[in-house]
């Protein structure tokens, strides 16, 4: 692990920040666990997701950023609290093209004015009707327990 004043593990750090493999970050298993967790608990319900200990070593910021990648868009507000499959939205967003569409890291970014509270509420309602999974499905989702995030990073993080 890097040494020095700037390289201090803080309580909100994730071991994956210190992962020294060639491709650090999220594994397919971790992404799938997050996908299932947001389907079960709802978009943005980080407290419940962290309570269930499915990805205990990830911070809220890391969970949110990965969710943006799964959704294929920067803003998650129009899905707040909804039990949806982020990959469904991600597949839809991947097909959106045009000169007015701006992307950063393959995610659609907001351009133009912010939505009013009424506009946002209308979008959430529309998305609920269009994409929300029935409670009979999301309430029975079994979440995996991710035991290891990479031998080196996990060992260093838990050794202290």
pLDDT tens digits along 84-120: 999 999 999 999 998 888 988 888 998 888 899 999 9
Tokens of 118: 């009424």
Angstrom distance (rounded) from CA 148 to CA 155: 9
Inform me whether the pLDDT recorded for 33 exceeds 60: yes
Angstrom distance (rounded) from CA 56 to CA 42: 17
Helix, strand, coil abundance in the chain, percent, nearest 5 = 50, 5, 50
Angstrom distance (rounded) from CA 72 to CA 133: 19
Element (H, E) at 46: helix 46-51
* Cα-Cα-Cα-Cα dihedral sign, residues 65, 70, 75, 77: negative
- How many separate helices (H) and strands (E) can be counted in the chain? 7, 2
Inform me whether the pLDDT recorded for 23 exceeds 50: no
Summarize the confidence of residues 65-75 as an average pLDDT: 93
Inform me whether the pLDDT recorded for 78 exceeds 60: yes
Instruction: State residue 104's pLDDT score.
Output: 87
Higher-confidence residue of 13 and 51: namely 51
Instruction: State residue 11's pLDDT score.
Output: 58
Percentage of residues in the chain with pLDDT exceeding 70?
Answer: 76
Inform me whether the pLDDT recorded for 64 exceeds 50: yes
Inform me whether the pLDDT recorded for 15 exceeds 90: no
């Amino acid at each position: 692990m890097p040494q020095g004043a700037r390289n201090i593990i803080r309580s909100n750090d994730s071991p994956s920040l210190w992962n020294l493999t060639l491709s650090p970050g999220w594994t397919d298993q971790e992404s799938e666990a997050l996908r299932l967790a947001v389907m079960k608990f709802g978009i943005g319900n980080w407290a419940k997701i962290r309570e269930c200990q499915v990805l205990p070593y990830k911070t809220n910021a890391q969970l949110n950023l990965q969710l943006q990648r799964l959704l294929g868009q920067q803003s998650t507000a129009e899905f707040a609290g909804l039990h949806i499959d982020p990959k469904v939205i991600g597949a839809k967003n991947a097909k959106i093209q045009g000169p007015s569409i701006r992307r950063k890291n393959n995610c659609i970014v907001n351009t133009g004015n912010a939505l009013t509270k009424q506009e946002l509420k209308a979008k959430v309602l529309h998305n609920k009707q269009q994409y929300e999974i029935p409670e009979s499905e999301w309430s029975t989702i079994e979440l995996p327990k991710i035991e290891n995030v990479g031998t080196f990073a996990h060992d260093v993080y838990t050794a202290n």
